[in-house]
Amino acid sequence: MAERRYDPREIEPRWQEVWDREHSWEVSNQPDERPKAYVLEMLPYPSGEPHIGHLKTYSVGDAIAHFRRRNGYRVLHPMGYDAFGLPAENHAIKTGEHPRDSTQKSIEAFQRQFRAWGISIDWTREFGTHEPRYYRWTQWIFLKLLERGLAYRREAAVKWCPHDQTVLANEQVIDGRCERCGHEVEVRQLEQWFFRITDYADRLLEDLDTIEWPEHVKTMQRNWIGRSEGAEVVFRCEDLGIDYPVFTTRPDTLFGATFFVMAPEHPDVFRLAAGTEHEQAVHEYVNHALNESAEQRGDAEKPKTGVPLGRTVTNPVNGEQLPMFVADYVLMEYGTGAIMGVPAHDERDHEFAQAFDLPIRQVIECGEELPCTGDGPMVNSGQFDGKHNREAYEEIVRWLDREGRGHASVNYRLRDWLVSRQRYWGCPIPVVYCEGCGIVPIPEDQLPVVLPDVEDYAPKGRSPLAAAEDWVNTKCPSCGGPARRETDTMDTFVDSSWYFLRYCDAGNDQAAWDREVVDMWMPVDQYIGGVEHAILHLMYARFFCKALTDMDLLDVNEPFSALFTQGMVTKDGSKMSKSKGNTVDPARISDRYGADTARCYILFIGPPDQDVDWSDEGVEGTHRFLARLWRLGMDVAESTEAAPVPEAPEGDDLVLVRKAHWAIEKVSADMRRFAFNTAISAVHELVNESYRLRDAAGPGALRFAAQTAASLIFPFAPHTGADVYDRLTGRQVWLEPWPEADPDLLETDTFTLVVQVNGKVRDRLEASASATPDELKAMAREAPNVRAHLDGHEIVKEIVVPGKLVNIVVR
RNA sequence: GCGGGCGUGGCGGAACGGUAGACGCGCCGGCCUUAGGAGCCGGUGGGCCUCACGGCCCGUGGGGGUUCGACUCCCUCCGCCCGCACCA
The answer to whether the beta carbon of residue A23 comes closer than 7 angstroms to any atom of strand B is no
Residue-wise pLDDT tens digits, A362-397 = 999 887 788 888 888 999 999 999 999 999 999 999
The answer to whether the beta carbon of residue A298 comes closer than 7 angstroms to any atom of strand B is yes
The CA distance from A217 to A43, in Å, is 19
Distance A214 CA to B76 C1' (A): 28
The answer to whether the beta carbon of residue A224 comes closer than 7 angstroms to any atom of strand B is yes
Specify the pLDDT at position A157.
73
Distance A709 CA to B30 C1' (A): 29
Phi, psi of A190, rounded to the nearest 5 degrees: -140, 155
The CA distance from A495 to A148, in Å, is 19
The answer to whether the beta carbon of residue A811 comes closer than 7 angstroms to any atom of strand B is no
Specify the pLDDT at position A368.
75
Distance A93 CA to B75 C1' (A): 60
Residue from A75, A196, A213 nearest A144 by CA? A196
The CA distance from A617 to A432, in Å, is 60
Please determine, for residue A169, whether its predicted confidence score (pLDDT) is greater than 80: no
Q: Mind spelling out the 3-state secondary structure of A46-82?
A: CCCCCCHHHHHHHHHHHHHHHHHHHCCCEEECCCCEC
Please determine, for residue A573, whether its predicted confidence score (pLDDT) is greater than 90: no
Which residues 302-361 of chain A have a CB under 7 Å from nucleic chain B? 302, 304, 328-331, 333-335, 337, 339, 342, 346, 348
CB atoms within 10 A of CB A207: 14
DSSP A355-400: HHT------B--SSSSS-----BB-S-GGGTTSBHHHHHHHHHHHH
Residue nearest to nucleotide B41 (CA to C1'): A692
Q: Is A306 left (phi over 0), alpha (psi -120 to 50) or beta?
A: left
Specify the pLDDT at position A276.
94
The answer to whether the beta carbon of residue A691 comes closer than 7 angstroms to any atom of strand B is yes
The answer to whether the beta carbon of residue A673 comes closer than 7 angstroms to any atom of strand B is no
β-pairing, A420-421 vs A489-490, is antiparallel
Specify the pLDDT at position A794.
86
Residue-wise pLDDT tens digits, A585-634 = 999 999 999 999 999 999 999 999 998 888 888 999 999 999 999 999 99
The answer to whether the beta carbon of residue A217 comes closer than 7 angstroms to any atom of strand B is no
Phi, psi of A245, rounded to the nearest 5 degrees: -75, 145
Specify the pLDDT at position A345.
92
The percentage of chain A sitting over the pLDDT mark of 90, rounded to a whole number, equals 70
Our measurement of the distance from residue A29's CA atom to the centroid of its chain's CA atoms, rounded to an integer in Å, reads 28
Which residues 544-603 of chain A have a CB under 7 Å from nucleic chain B? none
The percentage of chain A sitting over the pLDDT mark of 70, rounded to a whole number, equals 99
Residue-wise pLDDT tens digits, A196-244 = 999 999 999 999 989 999 988 998 899 899 999 999 999 999 999 999 9
| Percent of chain A that is helix, strand, coil (3-state, to 5) | 40, 20, 40
A299 CA: nearest nucleotide by C1': B86
The answer to whether the beta carbon of residue A678 comes closer than 7 angstroms to any atom of strand B is yes
Tally of CA atoms within 13 A in the half-sphere of A243 that contains its CB: 8
The answer to whether the beta carbon of residue A249 comes closer than 7 angstroms to any atom of strand B is yes
Residue-wise pLDDT tens digits, A755-772 = 999 888 998 888 888 888
User: For helices A8-21 and A99-116, what crossing angle results, to 10°?
Assistant: 110
pLDDT band at A638 (very low <50, low <70, confident <90, very high): confident
A297 CA: nearest nucleotide by C1': B86
Residue from A14, A75, A61, A76 nearest A722 by CA? A14
Helix/strand/coil for A173: strand
Contact criterion met (CB below 8 Å) for A549 and A557: yes
Q: Using only C-alpha atoms, what is the Rg of chain A? A: 34
β-pairing, A74-76 vs A36-41, is parallel
Averaged pLDDT score across all residues of chain A: 92
A328 CA: nearest nucleotide by C1': B86
Which residues 6+ apart lie within 8 Å of A678 measured at CB?
Answer: A666, A670
The answer to whether the beta carbon of residue A610 comes closer than 7 angstroms to any atom of strand B is yes
Phi, psi of A103, rounded to the nearest 5 degrees: -65, -40
Residue from A34, A94, A44, A104 nearest A70 by CA? A34
The CA distance from A735 to A69, in Å, is 8
Distance A551 CA to B2 C1' (A): 38
Task: Say if residue A498 is exposed, middle or buried (CB neighbours under 10 Å; 0-12, 13-18, 19+).
Answer: buried
Distance A196 CA to B41 C1' (A): 69
- Report the pLDDT averaged over residues A658-663: 95
Specify the pLDDT at position A646.
80
Specify the pLDDT at position A1.
38
Distance A797 CA to B50 C1' (A): 33
Residue nearest to nucleotide B19 (CA to C1'): A754
Which residues 6+ apart lie within 8 Å of A802 measured at CB?
Answer: A773, A776
Please determine, for residue A2, whether its predicted confidence score (pLDDT) is greater than 50: no
- With b meaning 16 or more CB within 10 Å and e meaning fewer, what string describes A614-628? beeeebeebbebbbb
Specify the pLDDT at position A544.
96
The DSSP bridge partners found for residue A797 are: A809
β-pairing, A321-326 vs A307-314, is antiparallel
Residue from A369, A313, A314, A310 nearest A343 by CA? A369
Specify the pLDDT at position A625.
96
Q: Which nucleotides of B are covered by protein (CB under 7 A)?
A: 3-5, 11-16, 18-20, 22-26, 38-42, 54-57, 68-70, 82-88
The DSSP bridge partners found for residue A322 are: A313
pTM of the model: 0.93
Task: Say if residue A126 is exposed, middle or buried (CB neighbours under 10 Å; 0-12, 13-18, 19+).
Answer: middle
Q: Which of A114-123, A219-228, A298-307, A353-362 has the lowest mean pLDDT?
A: A298-307
Residue-wise pLDDT tens digits, A539-571 = 999 999 999 999 999 999 999 999 999 998 888
pLDDT band at A3 (very low <50, low <70, confident <90, very high): low
Which residues 6+ apart lie within 8 Å of A442 measured at CB?
Answer: A139, A143, A430, A431, A432, A449, A477
Q: Which of A311-315, A339-343, A528-532 has the lowest mean pLDDT?
A: A528-532
Residue-wise pLDDT tens digits, A769-785 = 888 889 999 988 888 88
Alpha carbon of A107 to those of A83, A586, A783: distances in Å?
9, 16, 69
pLDDT band at A145 (very low <50, low <70, confident <90, very high): very high
- Report the pLDDT averaged over residues A402-408: 95
The answer to whether the beta carbon of residue A300 comes closer than 7 angstroms to any atom of strand B is yes
First to last CA, chain A: 62
The answer to whether the beta carbon of residue A785 comes closer than 7 angstroms to any atom of strand B is yes
Task: Say if residue A691 is exposed, middle or buried (CB neighbours under 10 Å; 0-12, 13-18, 19+).
Answer: middle
